[in-house]
Chain A
């Protein structure tokens, strides 16, 4: 009987506030659904059994965790709108003699209903859509599709449990809010008239400076590795700056608009500008949050989509040839034609045995060393740990001009200390190359192309390829010096070719070759420091699993962020609508027409919706160079693809945004024009 009473109050309350509760319940249900799907993918046997499935599975479990954190934050945030709105009602109950304990029970019933409905509906929807997600996932990675439908009880239990915890936290927070306020306050809580804020010029200017700094940083960073480290600094700066600019800037902007009498005293501007000024402080923070969420969605979806659609490019950059073998020799001086032909013979024999059709075979030797570029001199023995060294690390790959000419079909002639260079992830534009031991090269040409090896492509450090007249002659001094400081000049023999063989054939081939090389390395050939054999096809599924998984998570997280953005805007406008209700009532009495109301709502909504979106697009534009650099770390250099994905992302986002704008302004209009189809 008692329980029935509380649940009846809870249900009535929720029904009366359906404008607020329906979106909240929908959002909760959606989150549960997505949570289930992500967890389901991490345990799905169909995903696990395909090649690369283990990667996807691991990624999804991590993704689930990240997702839950964001979900908790968003639900917390949206719930605070509900509580603020309900406080008055609770205050009334309190005055009518309901203790806080009883109100707590009403709140508990509400939470239980919300949890039951959203978890129930979410899991059902999740089970329905999980197969679709699984198919999409399998298709993305390129595995075999099975059409059997399965439901994972583990995933259901885990998802339900996670959300129960989230709801419990939200409930506790609601209790805390009710307990820390007295009834009079509860009754009043929504109508706290606040002073219109003064425009804080200092904050605004600070924000602009911070923003300019972050933008400059984003545009000026050349080195992908420093892009990786500075990216987060820039992000933090942009977030702070966005808040400052929106909070101080929006007040300032409105004040300026008010100063402009001809603009301000127009029917559709008058009301909207003045009410924005009035709520600017809160407005600014809300707008900034929306802007940042929008930017996050755009950056995330652009980046992950770009990675996924560029996976083939990355794959081929990482594995320039279908099959490749590399032998690293321990001693620079021991390299001679005799040893190299020994290796070559081994490869030839394996090719003959397995009847492999070989195309576009290349073969060359290179020597590698890393150093730190300090004011034009490459320091090799740097153990003094300068913090700035991080940005200055450079790898060098030396190749003889003969190898270069043979592979690229050029006919360059260089001699003495002349070299030609090609920069990977860097543009080295000095005219000389000086090492700490005094070895000095004169750069006579910047090359347009180079056969970048898979290892170099995979690395994150800037690399300069140096074509020298002759490896031994040109690098003799450097090699001796490196030996003195207990380092060595690594020298590699590399061969690679393309083939028609499928994944199994390629795996067999590399397996066989690896066996032969191992035998050779053990059987007394001390020169072999290390060896490796790789095939492109064997790694394809892992590549697609990683990038496809990232893309999938990117989409899921984007949807969550998008939901959050939408909910924040919606609730902001709705709660403002309720606050504005009495104002519009007065204005209607003194002669405001329905048309005037429509117009002033449109003017206000457009500003509120467009400002963050515009700012987010600007953020994205400035983040572009950085995203480009970061994608370089994944061997992705396709600028067109990046532009296209960014464009499509913005377009989809804007479209979605416009729909929400329409819905929100309609609801707002219904509230303030007193059109109350629903009983309140």
Chain B
């Protein structure tokens, strides 16, 4: 059963003083099954960020549709979009985007508070999550007091606490050292094993090789895709590398 269905997505930006039109996405089609772990790769300017913004409801497509769990996102009103995002999507950003005015605990609570949940319910949801993510001891600390890896795990906790249908991760390992990167990827794999659907945009072959499927975007279209299948992480890493080389050198599909 597909949880996310993207059909014929096109996005054209018009520069401010008329005239120049830039086609960021030409015709993007793909589906994500429930429980899948999908990575999207592409060079800078390939339209990755535009795609993610549209999926997140932060931007509107020029043409085409995005259906999340049977609901067409175009039908969600502007005013209800924030609430829709909050209830259905979880975000993990490259720059963590934690608020330095909140403690770690309150940062994680943020989406629940915005949803008007009671403190007891928040606490009940937080406990197992914080223990699993290994940030239980940090809850009272502030973002400036913890390491980058810990910050990113906090961000993951914030994304997971609403029990979203889909996690959107934008270069989640971009600002992490290699050890923290490994940890985070292991964490994503674990979360995915439990049935959480993840869509990750990344530059990193290492991060992508962790996913179950990799979509390659080039010039505003899905150019190619790879399934991990039964291959090991090393083998998959090799496959992705090769594909990237072919794309970069302009080879056949």
Q: A residues engaging B (CB < 8 A)?
A: 193, 195-196, 261-262, 265-267, 270, 274-275, 277-278, 583, 586-596
Q: How far is the CA of A267 from the CA of B85 in the complex (A)?
A: 16
21 A–B contacts from the bound complex (CB under 8 Å): A193-B100, A196-B101, A196-B142, A267-B113, A267-B114, A267-B116, A270-B113, A274-B99, A274-B101, A274-B106, A589-B58, A589-B85, A589-B97, A590-B97, A591-B82, A591-B83, A591-B85, A592-B114, A594-B79, A595-B79, A596-B114
B119 contacts A594, C-beta separation under 8 Å: no
Shortest distance in angstroms between B90's beta carbon and chain A's nearest beta carbon? 9
Residues of B near A588 (CB, < 8 A) are 82
B102 contacts A590, C-beta separation under 8 Å: no
Q: Is B115's CB within 8 Å of the partner chain A?
A: yes
Shortest distance in angstroms between A98's beta carbon and chain B's nearest beta carbon? 28
**Chain A interface, >50% SS class:** helix
Q: Is B37's CB within 8 Å of the partner chain A?
A: no
Residue of B82, B101, B115, B119 near A261 (CB, 8 A) is: B119
A265 contacts B110, C-beta separation under 8 Å: no
Residues of B near A594 (CB, < 8 A) are 79, 82
B99 contacts A586, C-beta separation under 8 Å: yes
B83 contacts A278, C-beta separation under 8 Å: no
Q: How far is the CA of A595 from the CA of B81 in the complex (A)?
A: 12
| B95, closest chain A residue (CB) | A586
Query: With A193-B100, A193-B144 as given contacts, are A265 and B113 in contact (CB-CB < 8 Å)?
Result: yes
Q: Is B158's CB within 8 Å of the partner chain A?
A: yes
B62-91, CB < 8 A from A: 79, 82-83, 85-87, 91
Q: Is B42's CB within 8 Å of the partner chain A?
A: no
Shortest distance in angstroms between B150's beta carbon and chain A's nearest beta carbon? 16
| Chain B interface size, under 10 / 10 to 19 / 20 to 34 / 35 or more | 20 to 34
B114-155, CB < 8 A from A: 114-116, 118-119, 122, 142, 144
Shortest distance in angstroms between A163's beta carbon and chain B's nearest beta carbon? 40
Interface flags for B192-230 (1: CB within 8 Å of A; 0: not) read 000000000000000000000000000000000000000
Shortest distance in angstroms between A628's beta carbon and chain B's nearest beta carbon? 46
Residues of B near A589 (CB, < 8 A) are 56, 58, 85, 91, 93, 97
The CB with the most chain A CB atoms within 10 A, among B114, B122, B142, is that of: B114
| B123, closest chain A residue (CB) | A261
B79 contacts A590, C-beta separation under 8 Å: no
B97 contacts A591, C-beta separation under 8 Å: no
B150-165, CB < 8 A from A: 158, 162
Residues of A near B172 (CB, < 8 A) are none
Q: Is B47's CB within 8 Å of the partner chain A?
A: no
A262 contacts B106, C-beta separation under 8 Å: no
| B97, closest chain A residue (CB) | A586
Q: Nearest 9 pairs between A and B by C-beta?
A: A591-B86, A593-B82, A278-B101, A261-B119, A586-B97, A270-B113, A274-B101, A265-B119, A275-B101
| B86, closest chain A residue (CB) | A591
Residues of B near A266 (CB, < 8 A) are 113, 116
Residues of B near A593 (CB, < 8 A) are 79, 82-83, 114
Q: Is B188's CB within 8 Å of the partner chain A?
A: no
Q: How far is the CA of A265 from the CA of B98 in the complex (A)?
A: 17
The CB with the most chain B CB atoms within 10 A, among A274, A590, A593, is that of: A590
Q: How far is the CA of A195 from the CA of B86 in the complex (A)?
A: 29
Shortest distance in angstroms between A190's beta carbon and chain B's nearest beta carbon? 13
Residue of A195, A270, A275, A592 near B82 (CB, 8 A) is: A592
The CB with the most chain A CB atoms within 10 A, among B56, B110, B144, B162, is that of: B110
Q: Is B109's CB within 8 Å of the partner chain A?
A: yes
Q: How far is the CA of A267 from the CA of B110 in the complex (A)?
A: 9
Residue of B58, B100, B114 near A278 (CB, 8 A) is: B100
Shortest distance in angstroms between B145's beta carbon and chain A's nearest beta carbon? 9
Q: How far is the CA of A156 from the CA of B85 in the complex (A)?
A: 61
B99 contacts A587, C-beta separation under 8 Å: yes
Shortest distance in angstroms between B165's beta carbon and chain A's nearest beta carbon? 14
Q: How far is the CA of A596 from the CA of B114 in the complex (A)?
A: 8
Residues of A near B61 (CB, < 8 A) are none
Residues of B near A587 (CB, < 8 A) are 99, 110, 114
Residues of B near A196 (CB, < 8 A) are 101, 142
Residues of A near B113 (CB, < 8 A) are 265-267, 270
Residues of A near B110 (CB, < 8 A) are 270, 587, 590
Q: How far is the CA of A587 from the CA of B87 in the complex (A)?
A: 14
Q: How far is the CA of A583 from the CA of B98 in the complex (A)?
A: 8
Q: How far is the CA of A418 from the CA of B114 in the complex (A)?
A: 80
Residues of A near B99 (CB, < 8 A) are 274, 583, 586-587
Q: How far is the CA of A278 from the CA of B142 in the complex (A)?
A: 11
Residues of B near A595 (CB, < 8 A) are 79
Q: How far is the CA of A274 from the CA of B101 in the complex (A)?
A: 6
Q: How far is the CA of A645 from the CA of B137 in the complex (A)?
A: 59
Residues of A near B118 (CB, < 8 A) are 265
Residues of A near B116 (CB, < 8 A) are 266-267
Q: How far is the CA of A591 from the CA of B90 in the complex (A)?
A: 9
Q: How far is the CA of A193 from the CA of B100 in the complex (A)?
A: 8
Other than the known A265-B119, A274-B102, A587-B110, what 15 A-B pairs have Cβ atoms closer than 8 Å?
A195-B142, A265-B109, A267-B113, A267-B114, A267-B116, A270-B114, A277-B101, A586-B97, A587-B114, A589-B85, A591-B83, A591-B87, A591-B162, A593-B79, A596-B82
Residues of A near B97 (CB, < 8 A) are 586, 589-590
Shortest distance in angstroms between A680's beta carbon and chain B's nearest beta carbon? 15
Shortest distance in angstroms between B58's beta carbon and chain A's nearest beta carbon? 7
